[in-house]
Amino acid sequence: MTKPLDGINVLDFTHVQAGPACTQMMGFLGANVIKIERRGSGDMTRGWLQDKPNVDSLYFTMFNCNKRSIELDMKTPEGKELLEQMIKKADVMVENFGPGALDRMGFTWEYIQELNPRVILASVKGYAEGHANEHLKVYENVAQCSGGAAATTGFWDGPPTVSGAALGDSNSGMHLMIGILAALEMRHKTGRGQKVAVAMQDAVLNLVRIKLRDQQRLERTGILAEYPQAQPNFAFDRDGNPLSFDNITSVPRGGNAGGGGQPGWMLKCKGWETDADSYVYFTIAANMWPQICDMIDKPEWKDDPAYNTFEGRVDKLMDIFSFIETKFADKDKFEVTEWAAQYGIPCGPVMSMKELAHDPSLQKVGTVVEVVDEIRGNHLTVGAPFKFSGFQPEITRAPLLGEHTDEVLKELGLDDAKIKELHAKQVV
């Protein structure tokens, strides 16, 4: 089967999550991904939170499918020479080393271009080149803090909160892949490669765009009327004092308030007392107000000016949500979802990770995939989130450390004697 990235050779210098998520996705799309790992230890995540003895962790196996692995000491003269040969044949190099590490190894962008003017060098760093913090190393949750996600997530009486979604890591990797695909397309036009970089801070901020909107609204108007803090006697600080926008100058944490353009909230369903995930997210979309009134048996609110416009109901949103919740008391989250669907109202259950892992629909559509792994045993991963009409990604297990060292060196033209010598010198 022809694959979108057939024939694209990727040298993968990535580790942990941000870079590996990018190169794994390129592997799903058919690229030839060679992961170059530190000799003897490899990607540090191989050993992180192992659930079975003597096998690579699920962290590693879930971010490194569809790749081959070679061990290489890039700091030895022979290692550098091998790397030069590999760069000459590569289309894309992807790295997320700490700031300056590639330069310190002698592989500056200028030198890489000399070796191969068509190659694309793709990097993830914590901060953008030229930013005052560009020298800092960064991990996932640090990026959630630097990019505005943490300050705007959580409840008003609690600390800044990080998301369970890898907004700093995988999200940066996905942004990087967009940049790589654009650079490959541009290479068709110019014949030259280029450097493309994603800062984790920027990738997070790109997803927190709507909160930057709110900051500008707040500075202009002094209030964010749809936030819980603007509701009379709804939000209280840690000392029990009611909150208002009188002293709020930066976008506050809005709990579960709808972030986009329509107010929403997390509503309890039947069984919430014992099931932590027995909730639905319900949105009061302005154009659906009549259907919502029918659904909750409040037809008189349809024509009541105190309710039938956003401006009319905005100061009683939380009361309206509380009322709707009473209607959900005898229905579970799936029943509520179907009930709302009958009125054309978008509403969805909070899916637990257990439910997602075992959801037959997700397995059927190829989003949750069982990876065949004869070494650590089969396990689940998340497949490609995009679906094509003309191609179906196949997921193959992550490589063992150095599993393909000899194979890749032979493809470079080295003979058995030379490979043996490089092993003896501990270069590979």
Ligand X SMILES: CC(C)(COP(=O)(O)OP(=O)(O)OC[C@H]1O[C@@H](n2cnc3c(N)ncnc32)[C@H](O)[C@@H]1OP(=O)(O)O)[C@@H](O)C(=O)NCCC(=O)NCCS
Candidate ranges 96-104, 203-211, 228-236, 388-396; the one touching ligand X (CB under 6 A): 96-104
Cα distance between residue 294 and residue 310, in whole Å = 17
Cα distance between residue 165 and residue 125, in whole Å = 19
CB-wise, 16 or 284, nearer to ligand X?
16
Question: What is the nearest approach in angstroms of ligand X to the Cβ of residue 380?
Answer: 21
Cα distance between residue 216 and residue 117, in whole Å = 43
Candidate ranges 119-127, 179-187, 253-261, 406-414; the one touching ligand X (CB under 6 A): 119-127
Question: What is the nearest approach in angstroms of ligand X to the Cβ of residue 206?
Answer: 16
Please check whether residue 169 is in contact with residue 203, taking contact to mean a CB–CB distance below 8 angstroms.
no
Asked if residue 116 binds ligand X (CB under 6 A), the reply is: no
Asked if residue 184 binds ligand X (CB under 6 A), the reply is: no
| Inter-axis angle of helices 200-207 and 170-190, nearest 10 | 100
Candidate ranges 15-23, 203-211, 294-302, 367-375; the one touching ligand X (CB under 6 A): 15-23
Asked if residue 112 binds ligand X (CB under 6 A), the reply is: no
Backbone φ and ψ for 148, nearest 5 degrees, come out as 95, 0
Q: Which of 3, 10, 12, 17 binds ligand X (CB under 6 A)?
A: 17
Please check whether residue 54 is in contact with residue 384, taking contact to mean a CB–CB distance below 8 angstroms.
no
Q: Which of 89, 135, 137, 425 binds ligand X (CB under 6 A)?
A: 137
Q: For 63-116, give the DSSP string.
A: H-TT-EEEE--TTSHHHHHHHHHHHHH-SEEEE-PSTTHHHHTT--HHHHHHH-
User: If you count them, how many residues does the chain have?
Assistant: 428
Cα distance between residue 410 and residue 419, in whole Å = 8
Asked if residue 331 binds ligand X (CB under 6 A), the reply is: no
Cα distance between residue 58 and residue 56, in whole Å = 7
Q: Which of 125, 313, 333, 404 binds ligand X (CB under 6 A)?
A: 125
DSSP reduced 3-state for 301: helix
262 is in an annotated binding site: yes
CB-wise, 125 or 211, nearer to ligand X?
125
CB-wise, 179 or 259, nearer to ligand X?
179
Other C-beta atoms within 10 Å of 346: how many? 14
236 is in an annotated binding site: no
| Inter-axis angle of helices 18-28 and 170-190, nearest 10 | 60
Asked if residue 18 binds ligand X (CB under 6 A), the reply is: yes
Asked if residue 135 binds ligand X (CB under 6 A), the reply is: no
Cβ-closest position to ligand X: 98
Q: Which of 84, 118, 139, 294 binds ligand X (CB under 6 A)?
A: 139
Please check whether residue 272 is in contact with residue 278, taking contact to mean a CB–CB distance below 8 angstroms.
yes
The single-letter code of the amino acid at 148 is G
Candidate ranges 13-21, 110-118, 370-378, 385-393; the one touching ligand X (CB under 6 A): 13-21
Asked if residue 138 binds ligand X (CB under 6 A), the reply is: yes
List active site positions: 169
Question: What is the nearest approach in angstroms of ligand X to the Cβ of residue 169?
Answer: 4
Residues that bind ligand X (CB under 6 A): 16-19, 36, 38, 72-75, 96-98, 101, 104-105, 124-126, 137-140, 169
Annotated binding site: 15-18, 38, 72-75, 96-98, 104, 137-140, 260-262
